[in-house]
Amino acid sequence: MQIEHPSKTLTEALGAALYQDLSPIRYQRWTPDMKKAGIPLDDPEAVEMAERRPRYDDIEVRMFPELWSSTALGYGGMGGAAMTPAYTVAVRCHKNQEACLYWGGGRLGWKFDLSDSHQMDIYNLMITDQDSSHIKALRRKQARGE
């Protein structure tokens, strides 16, 4: 099996992360009506909470090829016993402290809450030690919901 084109894999993963998988970013917004009323910026009443989807300037992306021992790519289920190359894409949003891992395209493999130190450690392991078999075992376990 041949590895997919990197731009296709990257596009699918970014689309899934930005428009579906990453949580909205909450921020404080100072409205123009409040500005007209002369309410100072530091007044807690002058601020309202709003949400928006993450954008490209909110994220950090890492992409690397991996070799899987099954065509299921760690998602579990039926897969052929063929060595399968695929790209892994890690998308990290600093503003909402989340990260998503995608294997072989835009299908979410794992979502991390990076404000939790344990999940941050696992995320860092997974994006730095790509060839480690114990990391792939962790991925398979999580994909099966264990």
Q: What pLDDT sits at residue 41?
A: 63
Confidence of residue 103 (pLDDT cuts 50, 70, 90): confident
Q: What pLDDT sits at residue 25?
A: 95
- For 12-66, write each residue's pLDDT tens digit: 999 999 999 999 999 877 666 666 666 666 666 667 788 999 999 999 999 988 8
Whether the full predicted model's pTM is greater than 0.95, yes or no, is no
Confidence of residue 118 (pLDDT cuts 50, 70, 90): confident
- For 55-98, write each residue's pLDDT tens digit: 999 999 999 888 777 666 666 666 666 777 888 899 999 999 99
Q: What pLDDT sits at residue 129?
A: 56
Residue 10 CA from chain centroid, whole number: 12
Tell me the three state secondary structure of residue 22.
coil
Main-chain dihedrals φ then ψ at residue 27, nearest 5 degrees: -145, 165
Tell me the domain boundaries of the chain.
Answer: 6-23+55-143
- What is the rounded CA–CA span in Å between residue 74 and residue 78? 11
**Amino acid at position 116, single letter:** D
| Contact assessment for residue 115 and residue 100, using Cβ atoms and an 8 Å cutoff | no
Q: What pLDDT sits at residue 10?
A: 93
Q: What pLDDT sits at residue 126?
A: 77
